[in-house]
Amino acid sequence: MICDCLQSDKNHLIFILKCDAVVSEISTGPGTVNFTINRELLAKTVLQQVLKDGSQYGIKSELFSMVPRQKAVIEFSSPNIAKKFHIGHLRSTIIGNFIANLKAALGHEVTRINYLGDWGMQFGLLGVGFQQFGDKEKLKSSPLQHLFEVYVQINKAAEDENIKKLAADFFRKLEEHDEQTLSLWKQFRGFSIEEYIRIYKRLGVHFDEYSGESFYQEKSQEVLRMLEDKGLLQKTIKGTGVVDLSEKKDLSLYSTVMRSDGTSLYITRDLAAAIDRMKKHSCDTMIYVTDKSQSSHFQHLFQILKLMGYDWAERCQHVSFGLVQGMKTRRGEVVFLEDVLDEVRSRMLQNMASAKTTKEVEDPMETAEKVGLAALIIQDFRGLLSSDYQFSWDRALQSRGDTGVFLQYTHARLHSLEQMHGNEQLTDVNASCLQEPDAISVLQHLLRYDEVLYRSSQDLQPKHIVSYLLTLWQLLAAPAPALVLLSPALVFQARLCLFRAARSVLGSGMQLLGITPVTRMCCPAISQPQRC
């Protein structure tokens, strides 16, 4: 757009707007000026940029040019060892994975940490339980299931004061590094991590470090000494150690950091872990992904770090999330994550079988797993992370609508279109062939992708990307067959290029969310695979 300025008199300026290569039409209304963008230029520019940048499209935008690259440590998942992976850890795992994926894609240096709950009095109870009810063969063949059974048995017996005393003695020996006691605990930990890695593989999640509370048992004592040296540690009448967090320093708000016997607590070990991570990684930000019930814990943690003189505590962040309600399998109430993964895979296999085209998929089991996980992630990520939500199997797995299932189907459908036409190179596309309202709507939506990535990078909410992708499939769903079938050669090439660009952006967005896009699947809502 060209703007000429004329002065009609000393107090008034007149601006004359002229069309150029970008603006093809200018009109005015009451108090408004309307611009019409050159659609051919829009089509050509967007398609060239998407196909040139590939998975980097949107990320190379000028929106991110001034954003400094940082080192980020992200702690997420963090199950308790010697227990089967509870469904409650699913949200922490997929949310943390999304944040890590997004930051890594934007060029930040990311360290993914799984901070295991592997220390505390409960291991005294479990140790005694295994001594009384444990079976070494069962421990080897099905470790977490057997330890779960042992824990249930010993909890029933724990009403006996003798059992409580034995558990306290076992944990005391553990803290004193008694060789036999420590050896049994190491078995519990090793078997647990092996089992978790297998489940993380199903989720498409990996970690750079497996840490845990046990790493900071001794260092937490150093933290207590530091608190005492700084005059922050106060003793109560009961002998416990607390840090005063109140504004008036009247102990109206405090955090307990030491038991009466001098041993550390969860928050003490978290303080040691934070200090150790900052020394090790010199990170710009430290993010903790846990449910919102722990908000108070992290407020106290960051506040104590500040009182200790660590200015970097300002760069620590707690990303909280709400609870999932109503998640049950056919067998009843869900307790374990693997039950949910098996259930969603089973249901997707049934849906695929009902389509009568499952044989066209090379590995139905693997496809069902990927599509089922997409269904779980999209339903989870549609709203604010801090909100509780009601889970619905039927809504998550329906084959049409705003679901992960249909995102996967759309991606596979577009990929099939490319395969059907030989993946030919589309270098010189006639953009003037893409002037239909449906095509322009898709192009305009592709142009907004960087804005959506920027919003998610600012508030770490995946819902922006989810909403964008769901709108993209809606824009693609209706016009796809009409825009390609029976088209003249030049028009066909242009439309094929448009769908290739859309599939690239769709796949990139899904991967950021932690979804592996499938390239072939069938949908029960459509009796025969369609030519797109």
Catalytic residues: 83, 86, 89
CA dist 232 and 82 (Å) reads 35
Closest CA to 501 of 439, 421, 408: 439
Strand order through the sheet with 316-321 = 209-212, 109-116, 71-75, 285-291, 316-321
Count Cβ neighbours within 10 Å for each residue of 139-172 and write b for 16 or more, e otherwise: beeebbebbbbbbeebeebeeeeebbebbeebbe
Q: Which residue has the tokens 């057997």?
A: 146
Q: Which residue has the tokens 């499209």?
A: 57
The one-letter code for the residue type at 129 is G
Phi, psi of 317 (to 5 degrees): -140, 135
Closest CA to 149 of 241, 85, 206, 84: 84
In this structure, what token pair is assigned to residue 195?
Answer: 């089992």
Closest CA to 46 of 439, 481, 514, 341: 439
CA dist 111 and 313 (Å) reads 18
The answer to whether the CB of 116 falls within 8 A of the CB of 210 is: yes
The answer to whether the CB of 92 falls within 8 A of the CB of 220 is: no
CA dist 180 and 341 (Å) reads 37
Find the DSSP H helices in 382-403.
393-397
In this structure, what token pair is assigned to residue 313?
Answer: 């505590």
The 10 Å Cβ neighbour count of residue 247 is: 8
CA dist 248 and 250 (Å) reads 5
CA dist 52 and 143 (Å) reads 50
CA dist 241 and 247 (Å) reads 19
The 10 Å Cβ neighbour count of residue 81 is: 24
Bridge partners for 72 per DSSP: 110, 285
